[in-house]
Chains A and B, each alone.
Chain A
Amino acid sequence: MLTDVIVSILLIGGAFMSLAAGIGLLRFPDLLSRMHAATKPQVLGLLLVLAALAVETGSWLLLPVLFLCWLFQLLTSPVSALMVGRTGYRTRHLRRELLTLDELDDVVERAIVDQAERQRPAGADGADAGVQDGPGGSAGAAR
Chain B
Amino acid sequence: MSRQKFSLVTDIPLIIWLTLVWSALWQDFGPGTLIPGFIIAIVVVNFFYLPPVGLSGRFNVLSLIAFSGRFLVDLVTASFEVFWLAISKGPDLRNAVVAVRLRTRSDLILTATGHVTSLVPGSFVLEVDRGSSTLYLHCLNIVTPKDADAVRASVLRSEAGLIRIMGTRKELDELRAEESTP
Contact = CB atoms under 8 A, between A and B. Distances in A.
Interface of A: 17, 20, 23-24, 27-29, 32-33, 35-37, 39-40, 43-44, 47, 61-62, 64-65, 67-68, 74-75, 77-78, 81-82, 85-86, 89, 98-105, 107, 134-136, 138-143
Contacts of B124: 35-36, 39, 78, 81-82, 85
Contacts of A78: 114-115, 118-119, 124-125
Question: What are the nearest 4 A-B pairs in CB distance?
Answer: A78-B118, A64-B24, A140-B130, A101-B96
Q: Determine the main DSSP class of B at the interface with A.
A: mixed
B13 interface: no
A43 B119 contact: yes
Size category, B interface: 35 or more
A27 B118 CA distance: 21
B107 interface: yes
Given A61-B28, A77-B119, A101-B148, A138 B93 contact: no
B79 A44 contact: yes
Interface of B: 20-21, 23-25, 27-29, 51, 75-76, 79, 82-83, 86-87, 90-99, 107, 110-111, 114-115, 118-119, 121-132, 134, 136, 138, 140, 142-145, 148
A68 B21 contact: yes
Contacts of A75: 115
Contacts of A134: 127
Contact of A27 (B28, B91, B122): B91
Contacts of B75: 43-44, 47
Given A82-B118, A82-B124, A17 B79 contact: yes
A140 B138 contact: no
Contact of A98 (B93, B119, B122, B132): B93
A28 B107 CA distance: 33
Given A40-B79, A141-B111, A33 B95 contact: yes
A136 B133 CA distance: 11
A76 B136 CA distance: 19
Nearest to B100: A103
B19 to A, nearest CB: 12
Contacts of B142: 100-101
15 contacts: A20-B82, A20-B86, A28-B93, A29-B90, A64-B20, A65-B25, A78-B124, A82-B118, A99-B97, A100-B96, A103-B97, A103-B98, A103-B136, A104-B97, A136-B132
